[in-house]
A and B are shown apart, each in its own frame.
Chain A
Amino acid sequence: MRINLVAAAALSASTVFSGAAIAQTEVVVWVAGEPGQTTIYDELAEAFNAANADATITVVKNSSDLFNPALIPALSAGEGPDLFTFGTGPGQPAALIAGGLVADLTGAYYEHSWGDTIPEGIIVQTSSDGKLWAFGNEVETTGMFYNKAIFAENGIEVPTTWAEMEAAVAVLQAAGYDTPIGLGAADKWPVSHWQSMMFGRYAGPDGIEEVLFGDGAWTDDAFVAASAKLQEMGQAGWFGATPVAIGYGELMDRFWAGEVPMTFTGPWVIGGGIEAAGDRISDYSVFAVPPFEDGQSIHPTNSIGSGWYIREGSEAADVAIRFLNSMFLETEGRVALLNAGTIPVGPLDAALADANMSQLAVDIWKTSDDHAANGTVPAFLDTITPGSLTTVSYDGLQALLLDVMTPEEFTAEMQSAWSAAKAAGEIMLPGGLAEQ
């Protein structure tokens, strides 16, 4: 009886102490995605939870068009996620930082030697006033995805000059492809990928930088010429007769079904493409859009898009930083990201040796790397400029395609919105960290 009592007491004590030992800190993480859809971040969270008994990462997905409207009130109420993805660059995070809603990560940057992994160019887009506000985690690019089988059927080689590009489109149109290049412009944002790439090609990296952080204007000749070229391509039916009537999802369905020969997009479509096309996925590859004008260089689109922020006042900030480190600094996390088609920032040598990337992902990054020496330009101007400019750009790009606005009017409207945002202090000052 006595032994039983001792055993019961020991059991109770062990239960109490084991309960204390497994007390966990929960980190709520918000990422863009459809509820119910599994992302690479779910897998990384699961691996982190398994390896860290003191922490639980809970990943919550919000669709991209509802993400920001849900995030801002949640953060303002002090009940937002501990860790979340959000736009970077001079436009979008300025209000969050000014409102004191995000934590200063400068200390973590030095403590965990993030500088060994995150390049200077990305720090510039995620810092202001000498402080780091976001962990710029992954690199995004865009390229021309194409159907090799359709090209081969019609005797088309991958175009390397604009004349060859025009010839390829003409052959495809003659062969009955009413939409040689799919656009999905009903959703507005896919056109901004073209805009970012073409603005970068015509203005070059310095020209873009001059507008974002200097005294340049969107009305400069290079941006007018780029807008005019996009409109000209639309008028010639390159994007089909009615690009603004077709949504991006429907367009991608047609692309993977082999009904549309080309579309300009990014590596985020690869997972869905593998599911949709099955064995035919080997029919697809990627090339760099040739220079639009003589003497123009190919500047790959290369930017971080969004970064990871920690909510100011989060009690789980330390665990959130550990989770960031496990995803983006440790080899296992980087390999998992690469296998999912996401390219983490920094040197990839160690991770690439263990990674098993899809051929399409390899193709798009090779396309980017081949021209990286020319200098890169932002892939998503719409995520690094203020929301008011994004609205004007989205509407204006559709107006260009519908031929109801001139390139001069379009760029003037952009500049007007940009100037207003600047005057209202909605634009971050050039970044960079203060030495510690």
Chain B
Amino acid sequence: MFLDPDSKWAQRLNPVLFLLPALTIYIVFAIYPTYSVIEYSFTDWDGISPEREFIGWANYQRLFSDKIFWEAFRNTFVWSGVIIVINVGLGLVIAAMLARVWKARLLIQTCIVLPVVISPMAVATIWRWMYQPTGVINQVLESIGLGGFATPWLGSPDVVLYALALAHSWSTIGLSVIIFLAGLQAVDEDLYEAARVDGANALQQFRFVTMPALRPVTAVVFILTLTQSFKVFDIVWATTQGGPIRFSEILSTYMYKRGALENQYGYGSAIGVSLLVIVSIATIVYMQIQNKEDR
């Protein structure tokens, strides 16, 4: 009736049984929806009709001639680039500095991490209010004699994408800092001691000790930031809906407009699949570079 726990079968079956609940959830809520989106992307479907017409690669061919898709594509890369520079670059610097601060460290750390737990819609509301032409940012700039930098942040085509990326980074950089800080705990203090004996200053210690030691952690933060930034939707939608015109249109907002608002679920799915492919390629390329450098 029951398998002998020491039997070959039991040893093979046990791990599978333990994995089964999580695997079932993953298949139902991640794999199956992803498969459905890929399937929809080969159809002409309005999301309403019970019939979905199979149209092969037509939606993907349409992407190549859709100028708005390419605008959103370019914006998404700029958006992700800015967020990666801030969250990975600045996040690492902040973590390295925090690791050397003992007084008020907890307070500073809490301040940096707090925005991570604020809901994205609340973040969008806060920044939308601050970015108004008469909002607090312009008021502060004017009060400190920097009125020349005051600008209609969400209404300026040249500025809006960077302004929103900054707002997104404000709400997510705390996670990068925490991961980097955890990584820093594992760096052997003797390495810093040795560097100091060799005459390395703080900057050189950061460059030649901290950065190499954190290479695996940096890879994790990079990939997390990259995937997170590509799938951002809420902050852009709740502030500008991709505007003014389409200057803050990113692939996720464009997918939503075409798919959910215009009932072109087939085409919207094709945009979603392209987003998946782009993120996957970027992640693989980064991992390859990392592996090459490690070797």
Binding site for B on A (CB under 8 A): 65, 68-69, 72-73, 75-76, 95-96, 98-101, 186-188, 241-247, 250, 254, 386-388, 390-391, 394-395, 398-399, 402, 404
Q: With contacts A99-B49, A398-B245, A402-B245 known, is A387 near B261, CB below 8 A?
A: yes
CB neighbours (8 Å) of B155 from chain A are 186, 242-246
Q: Known contacts A186-B154, A186-B155, A391-B261: does B244 contact A99 (CB below 8 Å)?
A: no
Known contacts being A245-B152, A245-B155, A246-B132, is A186 close to B49, with CB within 8 Å? no
Cβ proximity bits B122-134 to A, threshold 8 Å, 1 near / 0 not: 0000001101111
> Complex: how many Å from CA A241 to CA B155?
10
With both chains docked as a complex, state the minimum distance between the C-beta of B198 and any C-beta of chain A, in angstroms.
54
Residue B256 at the chain A interface, CB threshold 8 Å: yes
Q: Is the pair A244, B260 in contact by a Cβ cutoff of 8 Å?
A: no
Contact of A76 among B48, B157, B237 (CB under 8 A): B48
- Chain B residues with Cβ below 8 Å from A73 are 47
Q: How far, in angstroms, from A68 to B256 measured CA to CA in the complex?
A: 12
Other-chain residue from A72, A187, A242, A247 in contact with B48 (beta carbon distance below 8 A): A72
- Contact A99–B132 (Cβ < 8 Å): no
Assembly CA distance A242 to B48 (angstroms): 39
Residues of chain B contacted by A72 (CB below 8 angstroms):
47-48, 260, 263
- Enumerate chain B interface residues (CB-CB to A < 8 A): 46-50, 128-129, 131-134, 152-157, 237, 239-241, 243-246, 256-257, 260-264
> Contacts A387-B262, A402-B245 given: A242-B133 contact, CB under 8 Å?
yes
Q: Within the complex, what minimum Cβ distance (angstroms) separates A185 from chain B? A: 8
CA distance A187 to B237 in the complex (A): 10
A398 in contact with B244 (CB, 8 Å): yes
Contacts of A241 in B (CB 8 A): 133, 152
Q: What are the residues of chain A within 8 A of B132 when measuring CB–CB?
A: 245-247, 250
A and B contact pairs by CB, cutoff 8 A, 12 listed:
A69-B261, A72-B263, A95-B49, A98-B48, A244-B152, A245-B152, A245-B153, A246-B152, A246-B155, A247-B128, A398-B245, A404-B157
Chain B residue at minimal CB-CB distance from A249: B128
Please judge, given known A-B contacts A73-B47, A245-B152, A245-B156, whether A68 and B243 are in contact too, CB under 8 Å: no
**Smallest Cβ-Cβ distance to A388: which chain B residue:** B262
Could you say which of A69, A99, A100, A243 contacts B260, with CB atoms under 8 Å apart?
Answer: A69
Contact of B154 among A245, A388, A390, A404 (CB under 8 A): A245
CB distance from A158 to the nearest CB of B (A): 28
Contact check, A95 vs B245: say whether CB atoms are below 8 A apart: no
Choose among B46, B48, B157 the residue that contacts A402 (Cβ–Cβ < 8 A). Answer: B157
Q: How far is the CB of A310 from chain B (nearest CB, A)?
A: 16
Q: If the complex has contacts A246-B132, A246-B133, are A76 and B262 also in contact, measured as CB distance less than 8 A?
A: no
A388-B263 Cα distance, complex, nearest whole Å? 9
**Residue of A with least CB distance to B135:** A250
Cα(A72)–Cα(B260), bound, Å: 8
> What CA separation (Å) do A101 and B47 show in the bound complex?
11
B243 touches A96 (CB 8 A): no
Contact yes or no, B243 A244, CB < 8 A? yes
The 4 A-B residue pairs with the shortest CB-CB distance in the complex, in nearest-first order: A245-B155, A245-B152, A99-B48, A242-B152
Cβ of A242: which chain B residues have Cβ within 8 Å of it?
133, 152, 155-156
Q: A69 contacts which chain B residues (CB < 8 A)?
A: 256, 260-261
A246–B129 CA distance with the chains assembled, in angstroms? 9
Find the B residue at minimum CB distance from A402.
B244
Q: Which residues of A contact B131 (CB under 8 A)?
A: 245
Residue in chain B with minimal CB distance to A69: B260
Cβ A95 vs Cβ B263 within 8 A: yes
- B243 in complex: contacting residue of A99, A188, A388, CB < 8 Å: A188
- Tell me how far the C-beta of A348 lies from the nearest C-beta in chain B, rounded to whole angstroms: 35
Given A244-B244, A245-B155, A395-B243, 10 other A-B contacts at CB below 8 A? A72-B260, A72-B263, A186-B154, A188-B243, A242-B156, A245-B153, A247-B132, A387-B262, A390-B261, A402-B157
Contact present for B244 and A95 (CB under 8 Å): no
A405 to chain B, nearest CB (A): 8
Cβ–Cβ < 8 Å partners of B246 in chain A: 395
Question: How far apart are the CA atoms of A399 and B262 in the complex, in Å?
Answer: 21
A246 to chain B, nearest CB (A): 6
| Residue from B243, B256, B261 with most neighbouring chain A CB atoms (10 Å) | B243
| A299 CB, min distance to chain B CBs, angstroms | 29
Nearest-Cβ distance from residue B295 to partner chain A, whole angstroms: 47
A65–B241 Cα distance when bound, in Å, is 10
CA distance A387 to B259 in the complex (A): 10
